[in-house]
Amino acid sequence: MQKTSKAANDRVKSTGSLPVPRGGEAESKVCVRFHHAVELIGRRWTGAIISVMLGGSQCFNELLASVPGLSDRLLTERLRELESEGLVQRTVLPGPPVRVSYKLTEAGLGLKPVIESLGRWAEKWARVEK
């Protein structure tokens, strides 16, 4: 196991960057927060769910119908993850029938330029297997 200096540990705490051993290699530019964000948004169906939610509040079944191939179990799982990360707000609407609405928080809406940019990149460069 590699020992890190106090300075390196302090740097990780203050900047979130992971130090890489010196010896000709440059120090890592991968930030812990960046890595977490990519892992979160890169999970299967998450980008599609966020993209649909950019259009405004959605009830569960509306989201399910808007993303072809997405199962209700996986949608529930992804919505819970996004809610726990502070990207989605869940609201129970009075019934009958009782319904649940989901909308993006300010943090979730902050992903709009990212999702739109990724969409433009995909249109130009992504290869779709047929």
Give the containing element (helix H, strand E) for 80. helix 72-84
Residue 130 lies in a domain: no
| All residues at 6 or more sequence positions from 107 whose CB lies less than 8 Å from its CB, including other chains | 85, 86, 87
pLDDT of amino acid 21: 47
Residue 69 lies in a domain: yes
Q: What is the pTM of this model?
A: 0.74
Q: Token pair for residue 101?
A: 């609405």
- 84-124 pLDDT, tens digit per residue, is 999 999 999 998 998 999 999 999 999 999 999 999 999 99
Task: Count the domains in the chain.
Answer: 1
Q: What's the mean pLDDT in 73-87?
A: 98
Residue 35 lies in a domain: no
Q: Report the greatest alpha carbon distance in the chain.
A: 66
Residue 127 lies in a domain: no
Domain of 85? 44-122
Give dist(CA 75, CA 34) in Å, integer.
Answer: 24
- 4-62 pLDDT, tens digit per residue, is 445 444 554 555 555 544 554 556 677 999 999 999 999 999 999 999 999 999 999 99
Better-predicted residue by pLDDT, 18 or 80? 80
Q: What's the mean pLDDT in 65-91?
A: 97
pLDDT of amino acid 115: 95
Q: Token pair for residue 124?
A: 């130009």
Residue 7 lies in a domain: no
| All residues at 6 or more sequence positions from 34 whose CB lies less than 8 Å from its CB, including other chains | 16
